[in-house]
Amino acid sequence: MPNKMPSPPKTSFWARLFSHQIVIPIAALLILAIFNLISDPTFFRIVFKENSSGNKVLSGNLISIIDNGSELAILAIGMTLVTAASGGQDISVGAAIAIAGSAMLRILCGGSSSPTELQSPIILAFIVGVLVAMFFGAFNGVLVAFFKIQPMVATLILFTAGRSIASWINNGELPNVPGKEFTYFGSYIPGVPVPTPFLIAIACFIVIFLVMKFTNLRLYVQSVGINEKTARLNGLNPELIKLMSFVILGICVAVAALIKVSRISSINYSVIAKDIEMDAILAVALGGNALSGGKFSIGASVLGAYVIQFLTTTLYKLEVSAVALPAYKAVVVIILVVMSAPTVREKLSRLGKKLRSGKTGAESAKA
């Protein structure tokens, strides 16, 4: 569709507005914010008080959102790259989080289920977790890039088997990590009033921002996603770039896994990060990225992730009955996804142009 018609001259304000990808998640955030402001202004109150370990920390609905949405936001970074490069999605990230988390706990607890002290330094456990997650990312990547299997089918393997692998790593035990240090990643570092998951997420954004700024990763990923053959003719190696996007997603998975297992100092293989893959894909879609690959905006995806968390927190606050909760979420999500679909955005921007330039403009657009 975009190729067939000449791109509209970007003169009108609305046309320019709707051509920006990031507008949709921002608009969604605003709508949710206004809705909450009207229904209950205290929603936005943030207080500064002590938690039970004696730290002064911020708390409030907004803090809960940036806290709980951070794992999803981190995953959204990797998922955007995978989507852009391969034109498909990785549905195994939830299972991969279980694997990486399980590997970290195995290192931390040394195979026993309730040790009295940490068996290894946390950094070592994290590095092992990252390596394990990168390995499984590379496994998916090889299937997609070299064997040309549809990403959703290729990652279905790990989606099915991942949680059993995670359980096998710890012999089916559910280890509990002793000590306070490990809980810092999922709650608060003493003396820092902002939840650590959000700080970790910001660190990830900065890293990926710098990578995008100082390397050609964005250009390479986009060109492979738009047209693999042309990219190859221009001297790129599409297989390698696809593989790389999956490995980067693997790193994101490991970071998210660290936060997830730190939140409860333990793991439950079947429910940890359950259905998070769907939310991560949704975040990419809400960010207005084409799920068929090509151009992408990581910032928009990340905002999309926080929109999803905003929605969840709002629904909890409204006390929607538990049985109806998924239905409410689905309705809002459908509206948001339709709004952010590239074709709809194009229609909207043309509509905006029509409104600006009046009848003559409308007729010329028809012709």
Partner 1 sequence: MNGKKLFAIFTSTALCAAMLAACGNSDSSSGGTASNGGGSSDKIIKVGIINNDPNESGYRTANDKDLQATFTKENGYDARFSYSLKNDEQIAAAQKYIQDEVDYLLLSAADTAGWDSVLKEAQEAGVKVILFDRTIDADPSLYAASIVSDMAKEGQTAVDWLKGQNLDKYKVIHIQGVMGSAAQKGRSGALNDAAAADPSKWEIVSQQTAEWSSEKAQQIVQAAIDQNKEFNVIYAENDDMAKGAVAALDNANISHGVGKDVIVMGFDCNKWALKELLNKNWNYDGQCNPFQSSYIVDIIKKLEAGETITEKTIIMEEKGFDANTITEEDVNTYGIGEEEAK
Q: What is the C-alpha separation between 310 and 33, in angstroms, rounded? A: 9
Regarding 39 and contact with partner 1 (CB under 8 A), the answer is: no
Residue span binding partner 1 (CB under 8 A) among the ranges 58-66, 122-130, 280-288, 328-336:
58-66
Task: Report the residue from 8, 60, 178, 342 that binds partner 1 according to the rule CB under 8 A.
Answer: 60
C-alpha triplet 45, 47, 49: angle, nearest 5°: 165
Query: Any residues with CB less than 8 A from the CB of 202 and at least 6 apart, and which?
Result: none
Regarding 178 and contact with partner 1 (CB under 8 A), the answer is: no
- Reference 14, options 359, 351, 362; nearest CA is 351
Residue span binding partner 1 (CB under 8 A) among the ranges 9-17, 88-96, 241-249, 318-326:
318-326
Question: For residue 358, what are the CA distances in angstroms to 12, 288, 352, 353, 363?
Answer: 12, 28, 10, 8, 9
Phi, psi of 341 (to 5 degrees): -65, 135
Mask 214-253, x = binds partner 1 (CB under 8 A)? ----------------------------------------
Residue that has been written with the tokens 């902002």 in this structure: 194
- Reference 29, options 320, 321, 313, 342; nearest CA is 313
Total number of residues that touch partner 1 (CB under 8 A): 46
Closer to partner 1 at the Cβ: 50 or 358? 50
Q: Are 52 and 44 in contact (CB under 8 A)?
A: no
Closer to partner 1 at the Cβ: 6 or 50? 50
Task: Report the residue from 20, 232, 317, 329 that binds partner 1 according to the rule CB under 8 A.
Answer: 317
Regarding 53 and contact with partner 1 (CB under 8 A), the answer is: yes
Q: By the criterion CB under 8 A, which residues form the site for partner 1?
A: 40, 42, 49-53, 57, 59-61, 64, 68, 112-114, 163-164, 166-167, 171-174, 176, 187-188, 260, 263-264, 266, 268-272, 274, 312-313, 316-317, 319, 321-323, 325
